[in-house]
Amino acid sequence: MKQGYLSQYFKSIAAKVLSRVEIDITKSNQHEINGTAPLKRIFGPNKRRFSAQFLYLSDNDDEPVKSDGFLTWYDAREQHPTRTEYRMYFPTTFVSNCASEGDMLFIALKPDDSVLVIIAECNSTIANQLSWLFGINKGYPGFSIREELESEQDRIAFVSRIILEEIGIEIEDRSETYLEEMLCKFNYNFPSTKNFSDYARNTLRNIQYDNIDDMLVGWIEREEILFRTLEKYLIAERLSNGFHGNNFTDDFVKYSLTVQNRRKSRAGYSLENHIEELLKMNNIRYDRNKKTENNSKPDFIFPSIEEYHNPSFNASYLTMLGVKSTCKDRWRQILSEAGKIKHKHLLTLEPAISQNQTEEMKFNSVQLVIPKNILNTYSIEQQKNIWTVENFLNFVTNKQNIINCF
């Protein structure tokens, strides 16, 4: 186990594309997977039963389908003197009922010898992301196996953390150095998202970045670490006080939901806050969250909402930027925003969006904008049609320069 690498959370990974016989109980003996030699390397020669958590993930649902259960690894010909036939048995669960032929199966053995079983929808973004994270070749016909997980490829960086949290793995990444300062500055409470974004950037004021894209990711990453540090302390304080009275269960559930909702909303606003700072640094005119048609509020309009609503202003000089920390299917929300702007831009931190989704974006005149250090999660073909953050800033700067010449 090596701190800061996938081996901290997983001993080994096995992955394959599911066949019909493996998920259709009318075509198989319950749910069984043939135990290939690579699987035997992971699970050993003896019969074993593993506690397991099962997840089904698709691009259509924000939350995974979850089930708890077990896996049984055994030799179906244990009594035969010369032959072996290993199999992996898993029971019918809500997760297995979601599975279809062509879905990706990931079997991850954890350090405590429990197993995380993930089924990701065929050709989905999350299947792409997990294949990239675990270094799996999706075109391989049988099981792809990864062991040790301590190469440079397995180092946990910004993008890895995003994907790991999708499957319920929370990275313990704290910055206790700033805890006392934050508690004093924010009076033992959570500040507004804007104030916290400003504070996070200020802690990096002496850092030099190679490019704008690295700067943006550096700001976001620092804010995330500082937020989790402050959150851990404040939650521990609240829990130590307990929940009392007749409605203590409801109060606890309400508090838990507050924590979850704060995390989700803060992530989106954090990205917008840091984009806004980049726009200010580059002297780019914009308006944020101003109404266009049907009360929709695009994240950013360039050069301003006044020009947008001015019927005499040439619409070809208008630009819209939607900002989503993660998107999946939610990118379509921007299609109904800023109707005067036909070609829209979408900036996201989502890694490895599926080919189907990026093709659909292109068809709907949506230009995808991705920080440069996330681009390597996309195929070479996809990268040809993706802009970096610096590309986008140059684009709106050039438009602004033309407008200033009017």
Element spanning 127, H or E: helix 125-134
Q: Can you tell me whether residue 324 is helix, strand or coil?
A: strand
* H or E element at residue 274: helix 248-281
CA dist., res. 397 & res. 283, Å (int): 8
In angstroms, the Cα distances linking 285 to 201, 278, 280, 292, 371 are 21, 11, 8, 17, 21
Active-site annotation, residues: 308
Give CA–CA dist 106/363, Å, rounded.
Answer: 32
- Residue 214 CA to residue 220 CA, distance in Å, equals 10
Q: For residues 210 and 372, is the Cβ–Cβ distance under 8 A?
A: no
Q: 337 and 330 in contact (C-beta within 8 Å)?
A: no
Indicate the length of the chain as a whole number: 406
For 289-314, letters b (16+ CB in 10 Å) and e give ebebeeeeebbbbbbebebbeeeebe
The secondary structure element, H or E, covering residue 363 is helix 355-363
> Cα–Cα–Cα angle for 296, 302, 308, nearest 5°?
60
**Amino acid symbol at 7:** S
First to last CA, the chain: 62
